Amino acid sequence: MTTTTTVLSARPSFVETFQRLRLGPYLFVLGVAAIDYVVIGPNQFVNALTIGAIYALVALGYTMVYGIIELINFAHGDVFMVGAFTSMFVLTQALGQDGPIDSPGMLAVVLFINFTITMIALGILGAAIERFAYRPLRHAPRLAPLITAIGVSFILQNIIQIIYGPSPINTPQVIDPAARVEIGGVSIGVVNIFTIVTAVLLMIALQMLVSRTKIGRAMRSTASDRDAAQLMGVDINRTIAITFFIGSALAGAAGVVQGLYFGNIQFTLGFQAGLKAFTAAVLGGIGNITGAALGGFVIGFVEVTAGALGFFVWGQAAVFAVLIITLVFRPSGLLGQQLGERT
């Protein structure tokens, strides 16, 4: 009888289980999504998911780099912009595409080639930026790499402006923007479905890589304690370079879907998108991969809702208002900082 009482008293209460599973932030996001669905309707809700998916992919790069070396890589938004231009170049120059592709098989081949080339090229660009711009400043005062990141951002912008000019450029929408399917009585664009599914699959793949692979363990150990990880045989330089490669490759994928969805790109694209993606990373909990993804979707919901209600010019103000309110009550973001303290 005594043993039974002890066992029962050891069981966690519902509140303790709720706190242990950290369900609050997820319910917050679901609540925002539900309100969005009711206020703006299913079609605009799908648009919000699509834009949020793009922000989430870019935000992952911010949060991965910060989690590893505690650097706010302000050049990451312009890496995303370069990804959009790289995708456009591959489609037009390498693959000779100038509009929608009717054949599903041909479309799949073109998309696969475009994603593969763009992601690899942008991953190499990200690793090169880390090697030549950030690694020499790794032990410098924190202001030095921060200023360097801003400098790299301007360099990327100016290179693209010199090559393509300051005006917006149309990019081939190989997925027909008019193509739609009926799901639950709601007409949804095929390009919306493709963007959301692609982003979610890439996020799941990243989560599995970080949690279940050797390089993922190296990344997590480096984020927790760099010196201890090095003593245990982790190649710090290689791990950080791979982190930049993966984050930049995901930004490249976001650049691909940006062109497919909107149909035009510009050299200033990276500043606005990067700012919102960075906001998403902070909102979700800088350094937390799942939090960055959730933050991206929340930013998409807020931005599209403001536009749908006729307050488009106030969209950015609404985004930062949500960020401020969230940080007042949860200073570490929705999912907090899952990094140990470094000595």
E strands along 63-175, which residues?
Answer: 169-170
Output the pLDDT for position 20. Answer: 55
Pull the structure tokens for residue 27.
């319910």
Q: What is the pLDDT of residues 286-332, one digit of tens each?
A: 888 889 999 999 999 999 988 888 887 888 888 888 888 888 888 88
Output the pLDDT for position 22. Answer: 63
29 SS3 class: helix
319 SS3 class: helix
Question: Which residues 6+ apart lie within 8 Å of 69 measured at CB?
Answer: 134, 138, 240
Output the pLDDT for position 14. Answer: 45
| Pick from 294, 210, 296: nearest CA to 246 | 210
Pull the structure tokens for residue 22.
């950290």
233 SS3 class: coil
Q: What is the pLDDT of residues 163-194, one digit of tens each?
A: 999 999 999 999 999 999 998 778 899 999 99
Residue 253, pLDDT > 90, answer: yes
- The label of the residue with tokens 């209460």 reads 13
Question: Looking at 57-61, 70-74, 261-265, which range is the least confident one?
Answer: 70-74
CA atoms of 42 and 38, how far apart (whole Å): 8
- The label of the residue with tokens 């300051």 reads 166
User: Would you mind telling me the total number of residues written for the chain in this entry?
Assistant: 343
Output the pLDDT for position 319. Answer: 86
CB 334 within 8 A of CB 283: yes
In the chain, domain spans: 58-270
Q: What is the pLDDT of residues 109-147, one digit of tens each?
A: 999 999 999 999 999 999 999 999 999 998 899 899 999
pLDDT band at 13 (very low <50, low <70, confident <90, very high): low
Pull the structure tokens for residue 134.
């950030």
Output the pLDDT for position 337. Answer: 53
Residue 15, pLDDT > 50, answer: no
Q: Please, which residues bridge with residue 188 across strands?
A: 181
- The label of the residue with tokens 């929340």 reads 298
Percent of the chain with pLDDT over 70: 91
Output the pLDDT for position 36. Answer: 80
Question: Which residues 6+ apart lie within 8 Å of 131 measured at CB?
Answer: 241
Q: What is the pTM of this model?
A: 0.89
Q: Please, which residues bridge with residue 264 across strands?
A: 170
- 186-189 and 264-265 beta bridge pairing: unpaired
Residue 341, pLDDT > 60, answer: no
